[in-house]
A and B are shown apart, each in its own frame.
Chain A
């Protein structure tokens, strides 16, 4: 039997444990193992090693789960304390939005008055109005993002 035959057998012995091999390859391998004692012994040894690896047990440290659960709960409490009052934030956002809608006609009249005083085209007034609405929102979003990044850095 050539070295190539044994190499092929060893390659297939690994392949069938890692991936799959075709029925034809299985038949060839079984025939080879039946007549080649060294390859058969190697296959048995690999099988035994993997069986032992699968069945080997690790002894857990005492109270590992409960100690970890306690630590995780303490950390969760720390994180919750750092969280800004989200309910209050949303309430403020809601009130701000309602006030914005309620005062929109007045703001528009203000812009119209400024426009007529300085002879500004309507597109400038509309842009001004849009900015009036967008800028506070953008500022708040920026502040929230910065706060979040800060919390994440602290968590790390």
Chain B
């Protein structure tokens, strides 16, 4: 098993390069335990959310979460600070899932869409305040949840990276090790799929109400 994180030629985020990424790279080379503790705290939410969306399973996401950080410790010397740390982190997490999945079945990420796809994501809305808002948010949340489960994982992944993680197209391309054109194409299809899934949900809701 190889764990070289793919760095695409010419894809360096020099404009985003900061002292932060350099000091993270330095600390990871030293296997600085304080830095690792801090990074785990800082990125726990985003990484876990990404893993849950990718696997559709909280327990598995938790296993991958821990394994990802062990890999960060072991492969920290490969991070050179030219990438945003989160992009590198997500690449490691994604490769871990792909490796696991290849061991299970020699296919691509698309085939992750198995029985777990229908599992609940157990998401909650942070902005609920009043009972009415809670009710409306809950309805919307359930709509999004069930819509997301209808979307193939390769599209769901780019939607999450773009609209939840607010990543640039180039960064997503780095995480996925694919050209930017592929990322765009998946985003267009993902949006279309999301719209389609939402319409199915709305129609099902109206059908149920009638």
**Which chain A residues have a beta carbon within 8 Å of chain B's beta carbons?**
14-15, 17-19, 42, 45-46, 48-50, 52-61, 64-65, 67-69, 71-73, 75-76, 79-80, 155-156
A38: min CB distance to chain B, Å: 11
Q: Does B52 make an interface contact (CB < 8 A)? A: yes
Query: Could you list some 13 contacts between A and B, CB below 8 A?
Result: A18-B169, A46-B195, A49-B143, A52-B143, A58-B121, A60-B44, A64-B62, A64-B65, A65-B41, A68-B65, A68-B69, A72-B70, A76-B31
Q: Which of B41, B123, B125, B144 contacts A49 (CB 8 A)?
A: B144
With a CB–CB cut-off of 8 A, which chain B residues contact A71? 66, 69-70
Contact residues in B for A75 (Cβ distance below 8 Å):
70, 73-74
Q: Are B144 and A18 in contact (CB under 8 A)?
A: no
Q: How far is the CB of A122 from chain B (nearest CB, A)?
A: 45
Query: Would you call B113 an interface residue if the criterion is a C-beta within 8 Å of the partner chain's C-beta atoms?
Result: no
B196 vs chain A, min Cβ distance (A): 11
Chain B positions 152 through 191: 1 when the CB is less than 8 Å from some CB of chain A, otherwise 0: 0000000110111000010000000000000010011001
Binding site for A on B (CB under 8 A): 1, 3, 31, 33, 36-37, 40-41, 44-45, 48-49, 52, 58, 62, 65-66, 69-70, 72-74, 121-127, 140-141, 143-145, 147-148, 159-160, 162-164, 169, 184, 187-188, 191-192, 194-195, 198-199, 202
Q: How far is the CB of A100 from chain B (nearest CB, A)?
A: 30
Q: Is the CB of B58 within 8 A of A61?
A: yes
Min CB distance, B15 to chain A, in Å? 18
A79 touches B62 (CB 8 A): no
Please tell me which one of the listed residues B1, B41, B66, B125 contacts residue A55 in the complex, with CB atoms under 8 A apart. Answer: B125
What is the minimal beta-carbon distance from B170 to any residue of chain A, in angstroms? Answer: 12
Q: How far is the CB of A28 from chain B (nearest CB, A)?
A: 19
Q: How far is the CA of A64 from the CA of B49 in the complex (A)?
A: 13
* In-complex Cβ contact of B163 among A45, A53, A60 (8 A): A53
Residues of A within 8 A of B169 (CB): 18-19
Q: Are B45 and A67 in contact (CB under 8 A)?
A: no
Contacts of B44 in A (CB 8 A): 60, 64-65, 68
Chain B residues within an 8 Å CB radius of A73: 33, 36
Beyond the given A17-B191, A53-B160, A60-B45, please list 13 additional residue pairs across the A-B interface where CB-CB is below 8 A.
A49-B144, A52-B141, A58-B49, A58-B124, A60-B44, A60-B48, A61-B62, A64-B62, A72-B33, A72-B40, A72-B72, A76-B73, A156-B1
Complex alpha-carbon distance, A58 and B48, angstroms: 8
Q: Which residue of A lies closest to B142 (CB)?
A: A52
How far, in angstroms, from A57 to B38 measured CA to CA in the complex? 22
| A69 x B37 contact (CB < 8 A) | yes
A10 nearest CB across to chain B (Å): 8
Return chain B residues, CB-CB under 8 Å to A64.
44, 48, 62, 65
With known contacts A54-B164, A59-B124, A72-B69, A49–B195 Cβ distance under 8 A: yes
Residue on B with the closest CB to A75? B70
CB distance from A148 to the nearest CB of B (A): 11
Which listed residue, A18, A54, A58, touches B45 by the CB 8 Å rule? A58
With A19-B184, A55-B126, A75-B73 given, is the CB distance from A49 to B65 under 8 Å?
A: no
A57 and B195 in contact, given A14-B188, A75-B70 (Cβ under 8 angstroms)? no
Residue of A nearest to B43 (CB): A65
* Contact call B66/A67, Cβ cutoff below 8 A: yes
